Amino acid sequence: MRYRKLARTGVEVSTQCLGAMMFGKMGNTDHDECARIINAALDAGINFIDTADVYSQGESEQIVGKAISARREDVVLATKCFSPMGSERNHRGGSRRWIIKAAEDSLRRLGTDYIDLYQVHRHDWDVDLEETLGALTDLVRQGKVRYLGSSSFPADWIVEAQWAARRRGSERFVCEQPQYSIFARSIEESVLPATLRHDMGVIPWSPLAGGWLTGKYRRGADVPSGSRYASDGAIARLRGGGDLDDDPSTPARYDAVEGLVTIAEQAGVSLTHLALAFVDSHPAVTSTIIGPRTMKQLEDALAGADVTLDTTALDAIDKVVPPGTDIAGIEHYSGSPSLRAVSRRRIA
C-alpha cells in the first residue's frame, strides 16, 4: 500500500480508501463479516475509511464505528451529511440546523468524539453556501470535526466554496469526492483542474462504475444474482424494476467493456485492476474509494493497489472512452434550479 498527503493537511492517507456504502442493509447485512472486512483492510495498510449517514440509514456508520473502536486513532475516518434521514422535511440538506444535528448523530453512531473528514454529500441548490460553511466551521472549532470536504460538487461550486471561505474567514473544503472511472470522465475537463488549482485532495467514488468495470456484466451472459444490476438488485429497485437489457445505455457499456477487456489482457492485468489503476494514475487523485461487499471483493481490490499503467494502455483506454467524456447512462449533477421551467422563460 502506498500513501499520499491529503492536500495541504499533512495527513497521510492510503491510496485506497475503504468505502462502507455496502455495509448494512444496502449490501452486506452480516455485521460480523463487515467487521472482518474492515479489519482486514486495516491490516493490509488501508488507513482511510469513508462512510455516510445515509448509507443504510445510519447502519453503515454503526458497523464502522464498532469495528474500528480499538483502532480509532490509527484510522482517518470520513463521513458525510446532506441526504434525507427520514421523512421529516428538515432532516436533510445544507442548512445550519440540519448539519449540526447530522454531525451529532453521526458522532453517536460512530462512537467517536471527532470526525477526521466531514463532507457535504451533495451541493444544496437552495441554501446559501456561506451558511453551510459557517455551520461546518463551527464544528471544526468545537473540535468535533478536523477537516471539511465536498462530494459531487460541480466545478463552479468548488471554486465558489473556496472564495466563500475566504470572504467569511471560514474553514475551507480540503477535499472533493467525485464520481470518476473509465466510464465517467467528464470531471477531467473542469472539476479535476479546479481541485488542482485550489490544492484540494480528490477521493473518487465508483471507480468500477457500479461493477461494470469488473467484467461481471457482459453481452449475452446472465446478470449475476445479488449484483446491483440484477432484476432484484439495488439499481433495479431505484428504477422501479426492469432488466439490465431494458436500459438503452446498456449496449454502449457492453461495447466499452469488450474493448477494455482486450486492453487489460494486453497489459497483463485484470479488468478490475486496469480500472482502479486508471483512476489512481490521474495527478489530481489522492485516494481511490473501493466499496467491497464481500471479503473476496476486498482481496481482489487490494491485489491491484500497486498496479500502474503505461502510456500504451492509457492511450488505448482513451480510444474507448475519450478524455473528458462520459459513456451513455452516467449521471453526475441533477436538480439544477437553472433548468426548472420557471428559470427557462416559463410561467411558474
**Residues with catalytic function:** 55
Burial class (CB in 10 A: 0-12, 13-18, 19+), 274: buried
* E strand residue ranges, 256-335: 288-290
Residue 315: alpha-carbon gap to chain centroid: 25
Q: Report the distance separating Cα 132 and Cα 134, nearest Å.
A: 5
300 membership: H or E segment, kind and range: helix 295-303
* Alpha helices, DSSP H, located in 142-286: 155-168, 191-197, 234-239, 250-267, 271-280
Q: Report the distance separating Cα 338 and Cα 195, nearest Å.
A: 24
Q: Report the distance separating Cα 81 and Cα 118, nearest Å.
A: 8
Q: Report the distance separating Cα 78 and Cα 84, nearest Å.
A: 18
Q: Report the distance separating Cα 171 and Cα 133, nearest Å.
A: 7
299 membership: H or E segment, kind and range: helix 295-303
* Closest-CA residue to 130 (of 88, 102, 162, 103): 162
Amino acid type, 249 = S
Give the three cell numbers for residue 90.
428538515
Give the three cell numbers for residue 49.
475509511
Q: Report the distance separating Cα 76 and Cα 64, nearest Å.
A: 12
Q: Report the distance separating Cα 153 and Cα 172, nearest Å.
A: 14
Under DSSP, the state recorded for 344 is T
